Structures are given as structure tokens and as C-alpha cells.
Amino acid sequence: MSKLSSSYKLKPGKVNRMRYVTHLSCTLCGRTYAPDFKYLTCPTCGETGILDIHYDYEGLKTIITKAYFKNNEDHSIWRYIPLMSVKGIETDSTLKVGWTPLYRGKNLEKILGIKTLTFKDEGVNPTGSLKDRASVVATIKAMEGGHTTLACASTGNAASSLAGNASKLGLKSVIFVPKRAPRGKLTQLLAYGADVISVQGDYKEAFKLSRDAINHYGWYNRNAAINPHMVEGKKTVAYEIIEQLNFNPPDWIVVSVGDGCTIGGVYKGLHDFHALGLIEHIPRILGVQSEGCAPFYKAWTTGKPLKETEENTLADSIAVGIPRNPVKAMRAVDYSNGAWITVTDDAIIKAIKTLGSTEGLFCEPAAAAAYAGLEAALDQAIIDKDSHVSVILTGNGLKDPDTIGKAIKGPVKLDNDLDALINHIESTHD
């Protein structure tokens, strides 16, 4: 089939792909900026002035139709490039990010008594988490701006993801991790050749040192909340869910929340597709936090402003005491008529075992937290059993085997002896 006959005519590098970005606006003061604005946050509001990127939906409607997707042979996040804030240079040189599977969870549907359950398995992205959707965009934006080094602070996944994606494009990465970053993630970072600084403190401190170093050296800043292009990468997960469901959106999408960039991206993706007339309603979004670190949940339930909290959970990827993307995250739940919920560490560990043993999905704690959130929301009748729920599983279980291993029974130890084996099997199986 000739590529020219498809409606996917925008080949990488041939056109200015940012033609549909109309402007940027500050989520705090509303000031607007040109599409190629060189700062990542609003100069008037400073670091908390997170920017939002706006598109010309009327113009996009002329090319982004269901037929556009049907004919699109690019099975990576770049299939959505006209809806993104990158120019398109080098996008054919990146790792393959996105177009992860959406599984129907039939076994858990039966166990939970829920009508339809789907799982978006982000753990199969190239570095094992949803963070690749943002990192790959960061590497491209860095190249657009002529940077050769990128930096970020991360609880682990953003870091390993940035390191892997940077490596593929021949860029350097400097990563600031908190003291308690899990070994799996650290090992991965080091293998990707990043410069890793283990800040002897928590994530908040790693974040601050990264910011100061970035200001000092002028590296490209991949700190997800600060950098508005990261949400534009993460939003593609929502596009994929909708496409994979043949444009029949679920009733709810469930996702775990740390900084708030992922949930903000989920909403943004749904908002875009709604604005383009591709879906008739926006699914409700359930934001899941860990009980030991739940600043969003607390702000939402008390109606008070977001307050710094302890980072007291084994789900390291969502152990974020000062979320850096509060406005987009709160909006995601408010505008979608969604809800916030918390889960305990015990429920998270249980969820890891449940997902592994019933659906063949192996998750790191922060990913399983989303599923634990679904169980809690069914219990509390926040989500009706007559619904279709899509749960985003944000990261792979191999990221953090130490934590998971502690909660899981070890193997049976036997000598090389068939009788002993038979004895064991007969006594444990029926």
C-alpha cells in the first residue's frame, strides 16, 4: 500500500508540526505566550506558574478524524504528532514509546462483579513505565532547543526513562534521585549511562537541588510538572485507550497520582479528543493516592489548599509530598466529575499479587495502587459495578522487586527428589 494514499501524510521532519499549537497560557494568572516561548514556566508567576498548551481544534478537525487513525501505520506515540507540541525532528530515531496493550481483565471482572474492566499496560514501554511518554518528548524538545544535556529529579522512573531515551539519541542525562530510590530503578539508570546524583534526602530535596543545578548549567529541564511538554507526551495514553476501545470511552479511568502530571495528561488527552468530536463524553477520572502521602486527597476532601505532607509509602513513584502540578491534577478530577481516593500500603501489596495471579500483569507498587483504588471505589460505591473501568498500570513490577519480594512467599525448597516433589504437590493441590 502506498503511504501517499493514506491520510497520514505528515512524515517526520517534512512539516512544521507545531502548526496547530496556538499559544501557551499560565495556569495561575492566565497570561498567554507564543507557541515557541522559550521559558518553561510563567515569568510573572515564577516556578508555580505552570503553562498549559493550547491547540487550534478547528484546524485539527480537518485532519484528525477516525480515518486518520485507521490509516496510520505508526504504532508509537508519534502517530499523534499533530496533536503534540514538538516540531517533529528526529522522531524516527527514538525508542518506540507508546501503543501499549489494553487488556480486557475478564478474570477480575468475574471476581469483582464489574461489567467491563480494561488494563492499560504501561509497564511494557521501553524503560518500563508510562514516564517514557514524557521523556521521549523531553529529548526531542531538548534537541529542538540545541541542548545536549538533560536533567531531572525523580523518584526513579522519570530518571531511568530520561536516561534511556537520552541514550538512544546520543544525549547526556544528569539525574537527581532521593536517597530511597529502589535498586531496580537505580541499576537501570546507571546501565543507561546517566550521571546519577543520589541526594541524601527525600524527593523534595532532590527536586530542589536539580532545579538549582539546571539554573546554573542551563541543561534542558525534564522536571515533569514544571515542563508543560511533559503533559503533552503523557496525554497520549488517554488517546490510545480511546482508540483501542474504538472510540467508545469507558465510564471511568483510574490512575495513581504523585506530582499530578500523569492525571493531568489523562484529562488533557480526553479533552482534546472531546474537542475534536472524536468522543461524546469525557470519562470520569479517579485519582488514587497512598494513605501515607495523600496531599491531593486531603485538599479535595477538606476543600482546603494543598498542603505539604509526609512521604510515607512503599509506593515510591507516588511518594510526592509537594506535588508540582497541582492545578492540572485538581482540574482533571473536577472537570471530569471524578473523585480522589486513598489506599493503604497493604492494599497495594495485595493488589500486586491479585494482578499478577489473576491477569498476568506484574506491577510496581505505584501501578498496583490504581487497581487497589478501583477495589476501594467499588467498596465505597463511588464506582458502580455496572461500569466500564479502565485502569492505567503505570509501571513494571521488575522495577522494584525488593519491596514486592518482601510481601510474597518464597519458593518451596526441595532436593532433587521426585518422591519429595510428589509429596509436596499432593499436599498442596487438589
Ligand X SMILES: *Cc1c(COP(=O)(O)O)cnc(C)c1O
Helix axes of 261-275 and 326-335: crossing angle, nearest 10 degrees: 50
Using CB under 5 A, pick the residue from 10, 18, 21, 26 that binds Zn ion: 26
Q: How many residues bind Zn ion (CB under 5 A)?
A: 7
**Residue 165 CA to its chain's centroid (Å):** 15
Using CB distances below 5 to 8 A depending on partner kind, what does residue 29 bind out of ligand X, Zn ion, none?
A: Zn ion
Question: Per rule CB under 6 A, is residue 227 in the interface with ligand X?
Answer: no
Q: Which residues contact 208 (CB under 8 A, 6 or more apart)?
A: 153
Question: Per rule CB under 6 A, is residue 228 in the interface with ligand X?
Answer: no
Comparing CB distances to ligand X, the nearer of 85 and 161 is: 161
Question: Per rule CB under 5 A, is residue 326 in the interface with Zn ion?
Answer: no
- Count CB neighbours of 152 within 10 A: 33
Classify the C-alpha dihedral 142-146-147-148 as positive or negative.
positive
Using CB distances below 5 to 8 A depending on partner kind, what does residue 28 bind out of ligand X, Zn ion, none?
A: Zn ion
Helix extents (H) in 146-290: 157-168, 183-191, 203-217, 228-234, 236-244, 261-275
**β-pair partners for 252:** 284, 389
Q: Which one of 101-109, 181-189, 277-285, 363-371 is the stretch in contact with ligand X (CB under 6 A)? A: 363-371
Q: Is 109 exposed, middle or buried (0-12, 13-18, 19+ CB in 10 A)?
A: middle
Question: Per rule CB under 6 A, is residue 131 in the interface with ligand X?
Answer: yes
**Grid cell digits, residue 359:** 491477569
Footprint on residues 237-296 left by ligand X (CB under 6 A) = 256-263
E strand map for 200-329: 220-221, 252-256, 284-290
Q: Which one of 20-28, 183-191, 317-325, 374-382 is the stretch in contact with ligand X (CB under 6 A)? A: 317-325
Using CB under 6 A, pick the residue from 178, 338, 395, 397 that binds ligand X: 395
Footprint on residues 369-388 left by Zn ion (CB under 5 A) = none
Using CB under 6 A, pick the residue from 286, 299, 349, 367 that binds ligand X: 367
Using CB under 6 A, pick the residue from 81, 366, 389, 404 that binds ligand X: 366
Q: Which single residue is written with the C-alpha cell 541543561?
A: 219
Q: Provide the 3-class DSSP secondary structure of residue 252.
A: strand
Comparing CB distances to Zn ion, the nearer of 42 and 224 is: 42
Q: Provide the 3-class DSSP secondary structure of residue 25.
A: strand
Using CB under 5 A, pick the residue from 49, 88, 233, 287 that binds Zn ion: 49
**Grid cell digits, residue 220:** 534542558
Footprint on residues 151-210 left by Zn ion (CB under 5 A) = none
Helix extents (H) in 313-362: 326-335, 345-359
Q: How many residues bind ligand X (CB under 6 A)?
A: 20
Q: Which single residue is written with the C-alpha cell 478524524?
A: 65
Using CB under 6 A, pick the residue from 52, 364, 375, 400 that binds ligand X: 364
Q: Which one of 26-34, 280-288, 357-365, 387-395 is the stretch in contact with Zn ion (CB under 5 A)? A: 26-34
Question: Per rule CB under 5 A, is residue 269 in the interface with Zn ion?
Answer: no
**Grid cell digits, residue 89:** 525532528
Q: Please give the Cα distance from 373 to 365 (Å, whole number).
A: 12
Question: Per rule CB under 6 A, is residue 91 in the interface with ligand X?
Answer: no
Q: Which single residue is written with the C-alpha cell 519458593?
A: 411
Q: Which one of 38-46, 66-74, 96-104, 373-381 is the stretch in contact with Zn ion (CB under 5 A)? A: 38-46
Comparing CB distances to ligand X, the nearer of 18 and 253 is: 253
Q: What angle do CA 104, 105, 110 make, to 5 degrees?
A: 130
**Grid cell digits, residue 63:** 485532519
Using CB distances below 5 to 8 A depending on partner kind, what does residue 243 bind out of ligand X, Zn ion, none?
A: none
List interacting residues with ligand X (CB under 6 A). Answer: 129, 131, 157, 224, 256-263, 317-318, 320, 364, 366-367, 394-395
Binding residues vs Zn ion (CB under 5 A): 26, 28-29, 42, 44-45, 49
